[in-house]
Amino acid sequence: MNLTHLSSQTQLKQFKVTYHHPKSERPAPELGVLEERWLHKIFLATHIPATWNAGKIGLVLAVVTIIVWLVWWPLGPGAAVAAGLYFLFTVSDWLLLWWLNASGASFGPVGPQLLVQNVPRLGAVAIAVLTAWVLGSPPLGLGLLFALQLIGSAVYLWGALVEPFALNVTHRQLRPAAWP
């Protein structure tokens, strides 16, 4: 075993990076105060799909659709319909986000937005499957799933196509007296 190598590893472990000068009058900032909170970690997790291409997003969507099908499977033959409804509405979200980027109405990656929009869609699946299971009526659960997904799409469409134009933005020029 190389003693020089051990010595350099020990020195590296003892080395701590700080941005505070010991002679500074200001107290050292607490590093990572906001970064260590759970909300920041959730935001970071939702940003992971930002680098995904359409193929990877589609693959993840297919896997989640299979999971929806497996969750509905014990309730009977409506599992394929439930998975199809979920897939159809999620793809419609994807197309809406793609269109917003293509039309110049929105900017940024589609993946994180689709992930966030997918959470209520999966919540609707959970509510519908629990309702179908408790009431013993898969057709009622499928109807509820369709209604919840339709409401979700209406909300997303309203938020993307109507609400941004309902904002009243005013412009005001400020000219300081010292400037010509």
CA pair distance 129, 145, nearest whole angstrom = 8
57 located within any domain = yes
161 located within any domain = yes
Q: Which residues contact 172 (CB under 8 A, 6 or more apart)?
A: none
> In terms of residue numbers, what domain contains 140?
53-166
Average pLDDT of span 140-153 = 97
Q: What is the pLDDT of residues 21-48, one digit of tens each?
A: 566 666 655 656 677 778 888 888 888 8
* 10 has pLDDT over 90: no
The total domain count for the chain is 1
* 136 has pLDDT over 50: yes
CA pair distance 146, 86, nearest whole angstrom = 9
- Supply the pTM of this predicted model: 0.70
75 located within any domain = yes
Q: What is the pLDDT of residues 90-124, one digit of tens each?
A: 999 999 999 988 888 888 888 888 988 999 999 99
31 located within any domain = no
By CB neighbour count within 10 A (0-12 exposed, 13-18 middle, 19+ buried), where does 110 fall?
buried
45 located within any domain = no
Q: Using an 8 Å Cβ cutoff, are 123 and 68 in contact? A: no
Most confident region among 45-49, 62-66, 96-100, 170-174 by mean pLDDT? 62-66
6 located within any domain = no
* 180 has pLDDT over 70: no
| 3 state SS for the chain | CCHHHHHHHHHHHHCCCCCCCCCCCCCCCCCCCCCCCHHHHHHHHHCHHHHCCHHHHHHHHHHHHHHHHHHHHHHCCCHHHHHHHHHHHHHHHHHHHHHHHHHCCCCCCHHHHHHHHHHHHHHHHHHHHHHHHHHCCHHHHHHHHHHHHHHHHHHHHHHHHHHHHHCCCCCCCCCCCCCC
44 located within any domain = no
